[in-house]
């Protein structure tokens, strides 16, 4: 299923639904259940409620989608899609693609080299010292930071350009949402804990990020600001995605293709992430795990940062397009 959170124009209340007919229509799941059973249910009051209901909720939702009562049908064009999971229980973002781990470091040291008398010689020295390589810990375990789950927005919402940065960037990522509670989960069982997948734009203030990480802690304000975490346009359930390691991914800035890659290039698998995070720590249904940026999946790596008025589109095969416009903050 392709699950969405939507707002109806007439009352502004959030509802959840399932996209059908090539995403042209939505089955309002709460309304469909009421029509089918003559009563309401808590399972479809929010995306978190559906996730919490486990397999029973997904089975009930699929049954309603198969029936698709006319009274519960909504034209997608008549609603506003929100983040499919407006308030995740937790958000973690990893750096799981070696291409980005290397590419971002190379750009950083290239900027430093350009301040030297001989930039080419400076880059050669950085390379000789191994400074362009990810640190050994990156290869040993998945590294991540925790995001601000309260500043999540969704498709077609505006990105507010923060006042404290001059280097606002996009990040093309695949994310998964957990569907079960667990602790000390082995890799062999970890896939069973994934509810579904969505697109994640981890908007980043590069100058703030680089500056604060010199303090050997963070990122913080480089990632934490209103509208800085974008999820959408839908959650595609794990059964419908199939293999999450064979998805084409693209980013377009003002219609120009800047970034493209495939989830097959991931170094640390989603199963490895779950195993690592759940060691002596309980994970809960409704958490978001970001893959980190694919190689070349940020404007930073192409020397093309976002400006006010820009439109950024992230596309992931089988999920769709996540589109947002950058506007002045305030």
How do the domains of the chain map onto residue ranges? 2-81, 90-328
Looking at domain 90-328, does it have CATH number 1.10.3860.10?
no
Exposure string of 104-132, with b = 16+ CB inside 10 Å and e = fewer, is bbbebbeeebeeeeeeeebbeebeeeeeb
How far is the C-alpha of 54 from the C-alpha of 144, rounded, in Å?
A: 27
Across residues 107-120, what is the average pLDDT? 82
For the CA atoms of 25, 236, 288, 154, the dihedral, rounded to the nearest 10 degrees, stands at -30
191 HSE (CA, 13 A, CB side): 9
Model pLDDT, residue 312: 98
Which pair of structure tokens corresponds to residue 100? 């980005």
Cβ–Cβ under 8 Å, residues 209 and 162: no
The answer for residues whose C-beta is within 8 angstroms of residue 38's C-beta and 6 or more apart is none
Model pLDDT, residue 62: 97
CB neighbours of residue 238 within 10 Å? 19
Class of domain 2-81: mainly beta
Q: What is the pTM of this model?
A: 0.95
Cβ–Cβ under 8 Å, residues 241 and 197: yes
Q: What is the pLDDT of residues 227-280, one digit of tens each?
A: 999 999 999 999 999 999 999 999 999 999 999 999 999 999 999 999 999 999
Determine the 3-state secondary structure of 262 from DSSP: strand
């Amino acid at each position: 299923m392709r699950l969405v959170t939507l707002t109806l124009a007439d009352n502004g209340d959030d509802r959840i639904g399932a996209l059908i007919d090539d995403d042209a229509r939505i089955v309002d799941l709460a309304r469909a259940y009421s029509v089918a059973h003559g009563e309401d249910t808590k399972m479809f009051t929010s995306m978190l409620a559906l996730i919490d209901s486990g397999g029973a909720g997904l089975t009930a939702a699929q049954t309603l989608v198969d029936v698709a009562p006319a009274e519960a049908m909504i034209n997608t064009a008549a609603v506003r899609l929100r983040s499919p999971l407006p308030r995740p229980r937790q958000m973690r973002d990893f750096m799981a693609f070696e291409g980005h781990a290397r590419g971002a470091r190379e750009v950083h040291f290239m900027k430093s080299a350009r301040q030297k008398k001989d930039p080419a010689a400076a880059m050669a020295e950085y390379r000789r010292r191994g400074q362009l390589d990810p640190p050994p810990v990156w290869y040993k375990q998945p590294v991540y930071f925790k995001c601000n789950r309260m500043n999540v927005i969704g498709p077609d919402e505006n990105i507010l350009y923060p006042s404290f940065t001059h280097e606002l960037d996009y990040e093309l990522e695949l994310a998964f949402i957990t569907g079960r509670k667990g602790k000390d989960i082995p890799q062999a069982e970890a896939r069973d804990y994934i509810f579904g997948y969505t697109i994640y734009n981890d908007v980043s203030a590069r100058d703030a990020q680089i500056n604060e990480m010199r303090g050997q802690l963070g990122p913080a304000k480089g990632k934490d600001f209103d509208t800085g975490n974008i999820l959408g346009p839908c959650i595609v359930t794990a059964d419908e995605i199939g293999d999450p390691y064979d998805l084409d991914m693209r980013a377009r800035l003002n219609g120009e293709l800047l970034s493209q890659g495939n989830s097959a290039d991931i170094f640390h698998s989603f199963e490895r992430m779950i195993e690592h995070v759940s060691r002596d720590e309980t994970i809960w249904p409704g958490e978001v795990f970001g893959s980190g940026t694919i190689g070349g999946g940020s404007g930073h790596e192409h020397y093309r940062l976002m400006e006010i008025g820009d439109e950024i589109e992230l596309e992931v095969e089988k999920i769709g397009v996540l589109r947002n416009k950058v506007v002045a903050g305030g």
